[in-house]
Amino acid sequence: MSMMKIWNELLNLFFPSLCVLCHRPLIDGEEQLCLHCSCNLSYTYFDNADTNEVAQLFMGKFPFEKATAMFYYQKGGAVQKLIHALKYHDNQELAYYLGRQAAIRLKQAGFVDDMDVLLPMPLHFSKECKRGYNQAELIAQGMASVLYLPIETSAVKRVVNSSTQTHKEVYERWQNVQNVFVLTEKTKHLQGKHILIVDDVITTGSTIASCAVTCLSISNVRVSMMGIALAHR
Ligand SMILES: [Zn+2]
């Protein structure tokens, strides 16, 4: 046993990592979540279904290839706790972990076979400054560690901070998201590529749709969308 391993085991003995949901100490091989909690999450099982509830949000609105989410997000549920932990409690490793788990599932389902690049949903710079990181980017980094795809963060910029729209009606929100994003000058390398836009939670889908439509103005681009969770409305 290497010194490092002995040191880690000692550390774990005195300061065990805890499950982010039930706070029981994690055992060897568990990360972030204990097996019990991770088995009891509300998986959507959309995996490779072409028509699923996420895809239905976008159908007929703009051309896209595929759309999916890994979990259902329910108020007060375990997935909400996970999303809150990564968004507001600075649990950046959890974002990375969830990205990796999502990528493993998507890879098994063949969902990502022809995708070229991951594009985490850009945050408005003021929000990113406040939080210190973009959680979608951490999710994408976790995914990239499984899929070996590049991450694109400089082609699309969020120019409108649309976070204050939570209570508006769905229709109003679809109207409000036009011109939320703009392309920068750095898009040439994306021409002809299939872009997977990555986000944490998809609710009405209007913001991720706006990002997708912005990407579609790059020549010969195809877009797909994925969220860690789909919120029930
Ligand atoms: Zn647990």
**pLDDT tens-place string over residues 146-159:** 999 999 999 999 98
Cα atoms in the 13 Å half-sphere on the side-chain side of 215:
33
Instruction: Name the H helices within 148-216.
Output: 170-176, 206-215
Q: How confident is the model at residue 92 (pLDDT cuts 50, 70, 90)?
A: confident
Q: What is the mean pLDDT of residues 183-195?
A: 94
Q: pLDDT confidence of 171, banded at 50, 70, 90?
A: low
The answer, yes or no, to whether residue 175 has pLDDT greater than 70, is no
Computed over every residue of the chain, the mean pLDDT equals 88
Per DSSP bridges, beta strands 156-158 and 181-183 are: antiparallel
Given this model, what pLDDT does residue 131 score? Answer: 83
96 confidence band (pLDDT: 50, 70, 90): very high
Q: Which domains does the chain have, with CATH numbers?
A: 1-40 (no CATH), 42-231 (3.40.50.2020)
Cα angle 127, 132, 137 (rounded to 5 degrees) comes to 85
Average the pLDDT over each of 62-71, 117-126, 174-183 and give the range with the smallest value: 174-183
Gap from CA of 35 to ligand 1 centroid (Å): 7
The pLDDT of residue 74 is: 87
Query: What pLDDT does residue 89 have?
Result: 75
Longest dimension (CA), the chain: 61
Q: What pLDDT score was predicted for residue 174? A: 62
Ligand 1 centre from 38 Cα, in Å?
7
Nearest one of 129, 198, 207 to 163, comparing CA atoms: 207
**3-state SS of 41-64?**
CCECCCCCCCCCHHHHHHCCCCCC
pLDDT number for residue 169: 54
In three-state secondary structure terms, 196 is strand
Mean pLDDT computed over 12-33: 86
Provide φ and ψ at 96, rounded to 5°.
Answer: -60, -45
Tokens of 26: 């994690």
Output the CA 70–ligand 1 centroid distance in Å: 18
* No. of helices (H) and no. of strands (E), the chain: 9, 6
Which helix (H) or strand (E) segment holds residue 9: the answer is helix 3-14
Nearest 5 degrees, angle CA 17-CA 75-CA 29? 25
Where is 4: in which H helix or E strand? helix 3-14
Mean pLDDT of 224-233: 90
pLDDT of 167 > 60? The answer is no
Interatomic CA distance for residues 233 and 229, integer angstroms: 13
Taking alpha carbons only, the member of 68, 134, 135 closest to residue 106 is 68
> What does the pLDDT read at residue 29?
87
Instruction: Tell whether the model's pLDDT for residue 162 goes beyond 90.
Output: no
Overall average pLDDT of the 45-54 stretch: 80
Q: Which residues surround ligand 1, an ion (CB under 5 A)?
A: 19, 21-22, 34, 37
Residue 42 alpha carbon to ligand 1 centre in Å: 14
